[in-house]
Amino acid sequence: MFTSESVASGHPDKICDSISDAIVDACLTVDPNARVAVETLVKGRADGSVIILAGEVSLDGDAPDYEAIARQTAADIGYNDHAIGMDATSIELCDVQLHITTQSPDISQGVDGGDPDSQGAGDQGMMFGYACTETEQDDELRDRYFPVAAALAQRITRRLDIIQRSGEIPWMRPDGKSMVTVEYEDGAPNCVRTVVVAVQHDAALKERFDDSEEAEREFVTAQVREHVVEHAIPARWLQHGYRLVVNGTGRFADPGGPYSDAGITGRKIVVDAYGGMCRHGGGAFSGKDASKVDRSAAYCARWAAKHVVAAGLAEHCEIQVAYVIGEANPVSLRVDTIGTGKLSDIELKARVSEVFDFRPAAIVADLDLKRPIFLATATGGHFARPPTDDGHFSWERIHDERIDALLS
């Protein structure tokens, strides 16, 4: 068995990731060379709520209206009513505090070069990228090259987000989580055994059932089964029967979101990546422009690993890259195919090094990461998402010429 989880856009930590990435996008709109590192904290109280923005921003031009961005982002997620956890649109009921300064000159002198050799990494650290063939047996999941438990957990929370935004089920609220357990047979994923979903709901819902919390829970479970789980997970994964647990404590009623749990940027790093199926360097993605290798090098490592697997050179590929602050070239690069490689890992490392350039400025250029594309990554996972013509998820695009180069 292997289990992965995901969280909906209204989860308090994800509100923070979205606000931080909305600020990144706004700064890049003003100046594509902006340097941004912004953290967000949200917390609801009985008498109101607070959004705290802190970090460093350096850009050529007028700074965007950070407070307006924070309020609008939270409201777009669905937090426009104090009764459900936060009303970001209300000055009286939601306070926004700003603690944003400029980037340290000691850091900027090492990362502001104009070419791949002079622009160094913004910090030390190691990043991981991963790809596998688990999703490739299913038409609805094909071309993701991603761990299937994580892929299915993400589909559930993205479905929750769609329902909440559309108003399809009006008693559902923005806050939610999912967890999927997949059974393996002979090393390959076979079926889903357990699905866990938590979804905040209208506190008055039980009035439909004569105040019976048991009847309310049965109703919520049935609705989640039909409109969320069996809508999001392809039927073949559920054909052996599965256990569904919805709101495990019995109820998840208003107020939820930031009222029930404080949120902070960067607290869902495994959710954002591979659901625990591979290692993680520890750095968060959201709130950072692409000069930060926590973000850009993790994207490039995923891009390279996906090409290795898509080329048929391995069934699993994990790539680690590491940097020292101020230097362009990585201090190490490691390729591990977990015993599934068609070539030795040493040979694959040599080929990856030839085909992919892991210098920070080269990554930014290759993946076109100076565009305001990051808010879309803040919820639903940073990987296994379809690339768009507008530049979103460019690290998921397969390039035939790079496949050919890896194979030659």
Mean pLDDT of the chain: 95
User: Structural domain of residue 340, as residue ranges?
Assistant: 125-131+266-285+292-407
Residue 73 maps to a domain: yes
Q: Is-catalytic flag, 342?
A: no
Residue 138 maps to a domain: no
pLDDT of residue 106 exceeding 70, the answer is no
Report whether the peptide linkage leading into residue 64 is cis, meaning its omega lies within 30 degrees of zero.
no
Task: Indicate if 252 and 166 belong to the same structural domain.
Answer: yes
Q: Is-catalytic flag, 232?
A: no
Task: Indicate if 273 and 398 belong to the same structural domain.
Answer: yes
Phi-psi map region of 96: left, alpha, beta (phi>0 left; psi -120 to 50 alpha): beta
Task: Indicate if 186 and 151 belong to the same structural domain.
Answer: yes
Residue 140 maps to a domain: no
pLDDT > 90 in the chain, percent: 94
pLDDT of residue 11 exceeding 90, the answer is yes
Task: Indicate if 102 and 183 belong to the same structural domain.
Answer: no
Residue 88 maps to a domain: yes
Indicate which residue of 31, 56, 81, 112 is catalytic.
56
Q: Is-catalytic flag, 378?
A: no
Digit-coded pLDDT (tens) for 329-383: 999 999 999 999 999 999 999 999 999 999 999 999 999 999 999 999 999 999 9
Q: What are the structure tokens assigned to 8, written together?
A: 């909906």
Q: Is-catalytic flag, 151?
A: no
Residue 117 maps to a domain: no
Task: Indicate if 78 and 183 belong to the same structural domain.
Answer: no
Task: Indicate if 304 and 403 belong to the same structural domain.
Answer: yes
Considering only CA atoms, which of 12, 171, 199, 177 is closest in space to residue 88?
Answer: 12
Digit-coded pLDDT (tens) for 29-56: 999 999 999 999 999 999 999 999 999 9
pLDDT of residue 108 exceeding 60, the answer is no
Per-residue pLDDT at 116: 76
Per-residue pLDDT at 113: 61
pLDDT of residue 111 exceeding 90, the answer is no
pLDDT of residue 110 exceeding 60, the answer is no
Indicate which residue of 21, 25, 39, 216 is catalytic.
39
Q: Is-catalytic flag, 56?
A: yes
Indicate which residue of 14, 155, 159, 295 is catalytic.
14
CATH number of the domain bearing residue 199: 3.30.300.10
Task: Indicate if 253 and 275 belong to the same structural domain.
Answer: no
pTM of this structure? 0.95
Q: Is-catalytic flag, 262?
A: yes
Angle (CA) 170-172-173 rounded to 5° is: 115
Digit-coded pLDDT (tens) for 292-344: 999 999 999 999 999 999 999 999 999 999 999 999 999 999 999 999 999 99
Mean pLDDT of 80-94: 97
Residue 120 maps to a domain: no
Task: Indicate if 301 and 248 belong to the same structural domain.
Answer: no
Q: Is-catalytic flag, 288?
A: yes
Indicate which residue of 8, 11, 311, 382 is catalytic.
11
Q: Is-catalytic flag, 11?
A: yes
Task: Indicate if 87 and 163 belong to the same structural domain.
Answer: no
Burial of 106 (0-12, 13-18, 19+ CB in 10 A): exposed
Residue 308 maps to a domain: yes
Q: Is-catalytic flag, 304?
A: no
Task: Indicate if 252 and 279 belong to the same structural domain.
Answer: no
Looking at the structure of the chain, the number of domains it has is 3
The DSSP letter of residue 253 is B
Q: Is-catalytic flag, 128?
A: no
Q: Is-catalytic flag, 21?
A: no
Residue 118 maps to a domain: no
Name the helix (H) or strand (E) containing 126: strand 125-132
Q: State the pairing for strand pair 86-87/80-81.
A: antiparallel
Indicate which residue of 82, 158, 268, 316 is catalytic.
268
Q: Is-catalytic flag, 43?
A: no
Sign of CA dihedral 288, 156, 195, 2: negative
